[in-house]
Amino acid sequence: MRYWLMKSEPADVGIDDLAALPEQTVAWYGVRNYQARNFMRDQMQIGDGVLFYHSNCAQPGIAGIARVASTAYPDATQFQRDGKYFDPKATPETPRWFNVDVQLVKKIELVSLATLRTTPELEQMRILQRGNHLSITPLDPADWRFITERLVRG
């Protein structure tokens, strides 16, 4: 089992949106970074743990616990000509972008980015490293345990 931190902008899909969706599951669409795509396509497995992170908002931080609910499959948004995620080089026969489904386990009291930054036990987390802007990053199992056992409320 692996662990991941997955960023979503709450203006697009936030934790409350996920909680309101059928089966509390969403396709993690729109990823357009090759490294993040490769994490989904090549490494994520059903049941992997996910920290659902709100980014690009007034109060960024971990807003929920989720799990990977599907293996990778082509991201349909790459084929939508009028959509912001359209990729003219992608075809149904040779898709370039993939997503997985993510299912809510529980909504939590926000663990803020400020809290993560000031917690010495987490200083090596990828999200806290200078220049790391990936929307999906692997988590060390020790970081997952520390966050879910010591920082999560709710």
pLDDT at position 57, please?
97
Tens of pLDDT along the chain (154 residues) come to 999 999 999 999 999 999 999 999 999 999 999 999 999 999 999 999 999 999 999 999 999 999 999 999 999 999 999 999 999 999 999 999 999 999 999 999 999 999 999 999 999 999 999 888 899 999 999 999 999 999 998 7
What is residue 131's predicted lDDT score, i.e. its pLDDT?
A: 87
CATH number, domain of 55, equals 3.10.590.10
Residue owning tokens 């990729």: 87
Domain tally, the chain: 1
Which residue, among 26, 8, 33, has the nearest Cα to 100 in the 3D structure?
Answer: 26
pLDDT at 133: 87
Amino acid 132: pLDDT: 86
Instruction: Dig out the tokens for 81 from the structure.
Output: 């000509």
CA atoms within a 13 Å half-sphere pointing along the CA-CB vector of 89:
3
Instruction: Please state the φ and ψ torsions of residue 86, each to the nearest 5 degrees.
Output: -60, 135
For 64, which DSSP code? E
Q: ∠ at Cα 95 (1, 31), nearest 5°?
A: 55
Please tell me the predicted confidence (pLDDT) of residue 100. 98
Amino acid sitting at position 147: I
Domain, as residue range, for 133: 3-151
